[in-house]
C-alpha cells in the first residue's frame, strides 16, 4: 500500500531542499533529490530504493536509481553544503 505522496511533505522540507537546488542541473534531479530524502526520512524500517518507491505515490525505483547512479551531480558538493 502506498503510504505517502511527495506533496504531503511539510513546507519546511521544500525550503530546506531549496538550499541544494543549484547543485542539480535539471528539474528532474531536484525532484528526485526530494523524493530520495523523503524516503530516507519516511517511516519504513527498510531504507532501500525499492522500499522507498513502494511506499510512496508517484515515485519509481528506476528514477531514484538513475538519480543516485547516473545523473550528473556532485555528492562532494552536496556533502560540503550539508
Sequence ranges of the domains in the chain: 6-81
Q: Alpha carbon 37 to chain centroid distance?
A: 4
CB 5 within 8 A of CB 31: no
Render each residue's pLDDT in the chain as its tens digit; 82 residues. Answer: 566 777 788 999 999 999 999 999 999 999 999 999 999 988 888 899 999 998 888 899 999 999 999 999 999 999 999 9
Report pTM: 0.88
The reported pLDDT for the residue numbered 45 is 85
Long-range contacts of 21-25 (CB under 8 A, 24+ apart): 23/73, 23/74, 23/77, 23/78, 23/81, 24/71, 24/73, 25/72, 25/73
Amino acid at each position: 500500500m502506498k503510504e505517502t505522496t511527495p506533496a504531503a511533505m511539510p513546507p519546511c522540507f521544500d525550503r530546506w531542499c531549496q538550499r541544494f537546488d543549484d547543485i542539480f542541473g535539471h528539474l528532474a534531479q531536484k525532484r528526485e533529490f526530494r523524493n530520495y530524502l523523503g524516503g530516507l526520512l519516511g517511516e519504513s524500517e527498510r531504507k532501500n530504493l525499492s522500499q522507498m518507491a513502494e511506499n510512496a505515490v508517484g515515485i519509481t525505483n528506476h528514477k531514484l536509481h538513475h538519480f543516485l547512479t547516473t545523473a550528473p551531480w556532485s555528492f562532494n558538493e552536496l556533502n560540503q553544503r550539508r
